């Protein structure tokens, strides 16, 4: 934890399964926080399938500068600091590693990156509830976790596992983000909930956590992310970017609320009386 002392808050963006838009949410959230005036870093913790270099538009083959034969300078993209296994290996090379090697690689890019004095480090977690999730909870002081899900039942089932996992390792839950909630037809304007409705609210009721963001199913999100200019950058005044900015505001409010509750919580000491 000593190496991370200059980072004020670390927030995990996680999901119980892949394919729910977790990484897209993480990068746009990080960029939304940057637009709000915070100094932000983005750590791509998905060792097997790193995607943030592509999403940030970093040129293929870009490598971090190495300091003292050990430490890595973060790659700057769109004004935020970043590091990822995708900067360190050929994108066509499969990561055929056992769990201890994966955890070792994760800890290296987390702790051996020369992050500057950051307000927020957003960690794009791998999907599931495995070794990296446990390693992060043990090696860093986590301000909280966001669970990204889509409304359909199979995604909600896996999201529940993610919630339970973070509770077991004592990481505060900041809230649920319901992604791909409503699709608006670009031709006729018809709104349709393709993946169903109410999933995030149901999780909120079952676990007593807040839905802190609702994001649409929008073609522009995918197109701009694939092009390396996430929609918060590409269409900063658009409705979708505003949804990510609202998510960033809600997350900051929740983090600050938890910090205040922690400071004001009463402490008890035993005496001989």
pLDDT score recorded for residue 264: 62
Cβ-contact 40, 47 below 8 angstroms: no
Phi first, then psi, for residue 248 (nearest 5°) are -60, -45
pLDDT category of residue 149 using cuts at 50, 70 and 90: confident
pLDDT score recorded for residue 34: 98
Averaged pLDDT for residues 126-151 = 87
In this predicted structure, which of 13-17, 25-29, 251-255 has the lowest mean pLDDT? Answer: 13-17
pLDDT category of residue 74 using cuts at 50, 70 and 90: very high
Predicted TM-score of the model (pTM): 0.90
Domains of the chain: 2-260 (3.40.50.300)
Residue 249 has pLDDT above 80, yes or no: yes
Within 10 A of 211 (CB to CB), how many other CB atoms are there?
19
Residue 130 has pLDDT above 80, yes or no: no
| Strand ranges for the chain from DSSP E | 7-14, 40-44, 66-67, 71-72, 75-77, 80-84, 118-124, 144-149, 173-178, 183-184, 191-192, 211-214
Q: What is the pLDDT of residues 178-188, one digit of tens each?
A: 888 766 666 66
Cβ-contact 89, 46 below 8 angstroms: no
pLDDT score recorded for residue 201: 74
């Amino acid at each position: 934890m000593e190496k991370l002392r200059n980072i004020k808050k670390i927030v995990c963006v996680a999901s119980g399964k892949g394919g729910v838009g977790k990484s897209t949410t993480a990068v746009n959230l990080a960029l939304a926080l940057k637009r709000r005036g915070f100094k932000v870093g983005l750590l791509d913790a998905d060792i097997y399938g790193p995607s943030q270099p592509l999403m940030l538009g970093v040129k293929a083959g870009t490598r971090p500068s190495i300091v003292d034969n050990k430490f890595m300078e973060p790659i700057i993209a769109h004004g935020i600091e970043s590091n990822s296994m995708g900067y360190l290996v050929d994108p066509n090379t499969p990561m055929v590693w056992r769990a201890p090697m994966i955890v070792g690689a994760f800890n290296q890019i987390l702790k051996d990156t020369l992050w500057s004095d950051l307000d927020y480090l957003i960690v794009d977690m791998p999907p599931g509830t495995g070794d990296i999730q446990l390693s992060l909870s043990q090696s860093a002081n986590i301000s909280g976790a966001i669970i990204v899900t889509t409304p359909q039942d199979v995604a909600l089932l896996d999201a529940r596992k993610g919630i339970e996992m973070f509770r077991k390792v004592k990481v505060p839950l900041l809230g649920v983000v319901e992604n791909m909630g409503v699709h608006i037809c670009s031709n006729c304007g018809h709104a349709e909930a393709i993946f169903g409705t109410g999933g995030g609210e149901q999780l909120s009721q079952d676990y007593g956590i807040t839905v802190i963001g609702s994001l649409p199913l929008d073609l522009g999100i995918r197109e701009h992310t694939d092009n390396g200019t996430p929609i918060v950058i590409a269409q900063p005044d658009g409705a979708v970017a505003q949804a990510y900015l609202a998510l960033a505001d809600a997350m900051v409010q929740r983090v600050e609320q938890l910090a205040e509750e922690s400071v004001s919580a009463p402490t008890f000491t035993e005496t001989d009386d």
